[in-house]
Structure 1
Amino acid sequence: MPVKLCTEVGFKGDKKKFSGAVDNLAKRQFYGQVKSVMIDGTRPWVFCADFDFRGKAALIEPGEHSDISTLCSFKVKSMCELIDTDKEKRGKLEIVVEDAEMSVTDSTPEFVFQKKPKPEQNEQQQPQDYKVKARLEVTGGTWLLFSEQGYGGDLAVVTTSNNGRRMSFGQLATVRSAKKLSFLD
């Protein structure tokens, strides 16, 4: 479904329509700051502060938004419509950090990690890498990841496409809560 961007509040200024993912608005001849948007359809769009869906991210629901300054406080450089592929509602989010793991199938305002079972010890110990190792896996659905507990702070979005490819929008150094979106057409 298309989205219409406007460079002024109240749907004024330069206007341009887009559909699908746009990894660089400047390459598509949209140079101004997005100040108002009209989103058709039933699916939300994610707007990112950097090219290639990086930096800060904001999720904007379908409808007419005459002033997005409270929803999106940065200059938008890339954006994408979100598509939910979790038709059977079995998608989950798995996070592994060193010797702890967590698997959730629904929104969670605060993460609780469980210790991973230790594999059988070999006679020879492997040298340990003391860097923090983290892995995030999405096996279906669209997830909003937040930097603070209770769905607060900065936002990133992780989803899977119909062919199983994982797509990420926005960047976070720390994830402390997650919300699963459900917006199947």
Structure 2
Amino acid sequence: MIRLMALSALAAGAMSVAAPAMVAAAAPAASATVRQDVDPVTFFTGTTVGDGQLKKMLSGAQETHDVSRGHVEQDGTLVLDQTVRIGNDKPLARHWRLHEDAPGQFSGTISDAAGKVEGQLEGRVLSIAYRTKGKMDVRQQITFAPDGQSARNEMKIRRFGMTLATLEGTITRR
């Protein structure tokens, strides 16, 4: 959810840069029971570090690195401050606020999103979706490892139905 933040930061730089996000899983039917095997809020509380590779359409791949510091407010909102570096570009600062509205259902804001950020946790996979201020659709999937100390981060950034960038990486708790 939060690595998505990083990809979104990339997307905020328009098509020249893409933010880390993953492909969102399809939402279960309203009557389906959502299984939760991990707690994303606990995972992102404290310091996490993300490393990955951003691949942009009509361009080469770039290494990405981000450091996030998260804390939980009294109402249960996860606040995440993130510094993202893509290749040799200047670092980008991002700010996330996410709250669990119902078991496995998250919503909130991110500094480079045009509106609401929505997330769904099913099992060990957190799927996040939002639109950037640059009108790009970001889909991110964070798959948490069984040990709770790392996660696989995959993201796609699309515009006009075309994939402009993808990100694949790993997030690690410190």
Q: Same fold (TM over 0.5)?
A: no
TM range (shorter): under 0.3
Pair member with larger Rg: 1
Normalized per residue, the structure richer in helix is: 2
Larger relative contact order (C-alpha < 8 A, sep ≥ 6)? 2
TM-score for the superposition, normalised by structure 1: 0.26
